[in-house]
Amino acid sequence: MDDLRYEAPGTLEAAVALLAGEEGDARVLAGGTDVLVLLHADMIEPDLLVDIKNIPELTGITQENGGWRVGAATICMDIADHEEFSAAWPGIIDSVKLIGSVQVKGRASIGGNLANASPGADTVPAIMAAGATASIFGPQGQREVPVEDIAIGPGETSLAKGEIIVSFFFPQRPAHSGGAYLRFTPRTEMDIAVVGVGIDLTLDDRGTCLAARVALGAVAARALMVDEAAAVLVGTPIDDAALANLAAAASAACRPIDDKRGTKEFRIKVAGVLARRTALIALGRAKQS
């Protein structure tokens, strides 16, 4: 008995009409690296899959107002291979390169990673630290929201029925800006973050931190923006004292669970260690830019 239907519309309007009009469970299909695993494990039983990859707005990387617009279903391989975007947003590339294998990166996307709402999603702290916004299209039209407002808990998002993440906007970079993402995993490849840290920094001409954004993954039910950790960097040259404060603030923000990948205590400690290391990479990149 096969009652699962598949549609691959070519426009946003058609996709939203299908998703909003479905009485049963309708799912967006982008790269399928999460949805198809859940489907075949019988963990979801959708009635309709709406493949959004034929919609032009969903894929591609283009310059816009001095920043970059990245289609939500753009595959990770295309993002990592994009030289100009990679130069502007190396922290995003750090995270994109850590997603699965080459084969998985050939299908997986940032939009899918965010919409899947895993607390350990690698690209999510990176795009949060970058200050990216998501363009969302739905039955009520289009809205632009900070990416940190989308995932609200494991597998749960703030998206309304029928809404699709269309694209991400990464704003124009001030001079002396740099970002980085690091995660801790037992293996170097093909693993899921025990802790992930995204940090983005902007310095003045003398190397003093003008602005900072710090985001943590896998240490709470959703990725966290940690304003307290960013605040201890601003106004400093990001010296040892500031880095120690950053580590303490990052650890203090964690609300982790014990699971097979790590204990609460371990995650809290590693969040501080990784925040320090991530900040040093971001600092080096900011000084070079």
Partner 1 sequence: MARNHITTTINGDEYEFLCDTEQTLLDCLRDELFLTGTKEGCASGDCGACNVMLDGQLVCSCLVLGVEADGKSMETIEGMAHGEELHPLQQKFLELNGLQCGICTPGILIAAKALLERDPDPTETEIRYWLAGNLCRCTGYDKVVRSVQAAAEEMRKG
Contact 213, 227 (CB under 8 A): no
CA 174-109-152 angle, 5° bins: 80
Q: Does 36 bind partner 1 (CB under 8 A)?
A: yes
Minimum CB–partner distance for residue 189 and partner 1 (Å): 4
Q: Binding of partner 1 at residue 96 (CB under 8 A)?
A: no
Q: Which tokens sit at 218?
A: 């896998």
Which two three-digit tokens encode residue 167? 């694209």
**Which residues fall within 8 angstroms of residue 15, CB to CB, at 6 or more apart?**
9, 28, 50, 52, 55, 164
Looking at the Cβ atoms of 77 and 271, the one nearer to partner 1 is 77
Spatial distance between the Cα atoms of 197 and 216, rounded to a whole number of angstroms: 5
Q: Which is nearer to partner 1, 102 or 160 (CB)?
A: 102
Using CB under 8 A, which of 102, 175, 241, 244 touches partner 1?
102
CA–CA separation, 55 and 19 (whole Å): 14
Binding mask 39-68 for partner 1 (x = CB under 8 A): xxx-------x-x-----------------
Asked if 71 and 60 touch (Cβ cutoff 8 Å), the reply is yes
Supply the minimum distance, in Å, between the C-beta of residue 243 and partner 1.
30
- Residue 131 as a binder of partner 1 (CB under 8 A): the answer is no
Residue 41 beta carbon to partner 1: minimum distance, rounded to whole angstroms: 8
Contact 229, 237 (CB under 8 A): no
The minimum distance between CB 130 and partner 1, in angstroms, equals: 25
* Residue nearer to partner 1 on the CB measure, 40 or 206: 40
CB half-sphere exposure, 155, CA atoms < 13 A: 6
Q: Does 189 bind partner 1 (CB under 8 A)?
A: yes
Residue span 226-265 as binding mask against partner 1, x where in contact by CB under 8 A, dash where not: ----------------------------------------
Compute how many residues bind partner 1; rule: CB under 8 A.
28
Per rule CB under 8 A, is residue 103 in the interface with partner 1?
A: yes
Closer of 72 and 99 to partner 1 (Cβ)? 99
Cβ neighbours for 72, distance < 8 A, ≥ 6 positions apart = 30, 58, 109, 110, 111, 112, 114, 134, 164, 165, 166, 167, 168
Cα gap 243→229, rounded to integer Å: 10
Concatenated DSSP letters of 217-262: ESSSSS-EE-HHHHHTTTTS---HHHHHHHHHHHHHH-----BTTB
Q: Which of 11, 101, 140, 142 binds partner 1 (CB under 8 A)?
A: 101
Determine the interface stretch with partner 1 among 95-103, 121-129, 224-232, 279-287 (rule: CB under 8 A).
95-103
Binding flag, residue 112, partner 1 (CB under 8 A): no
Q: Give the three-state DSSP class for 154.
A: coil
Half-sphere exposure of 180 (CA within 13 A, CB side): 16
The only residue of 77, 110, 201, 223 in contact with partner 1, by rule CB under 8 A? 77
Using rule CB under 8 A, residue 75 touches partner 1: yes
The residue ranges that bind partner 1 (CB under 8 A) are 2-6, 8, 29, 31-33, 36-37, 39-41, 49, 51, 75, 77, 100-104, 106-107, 189-190
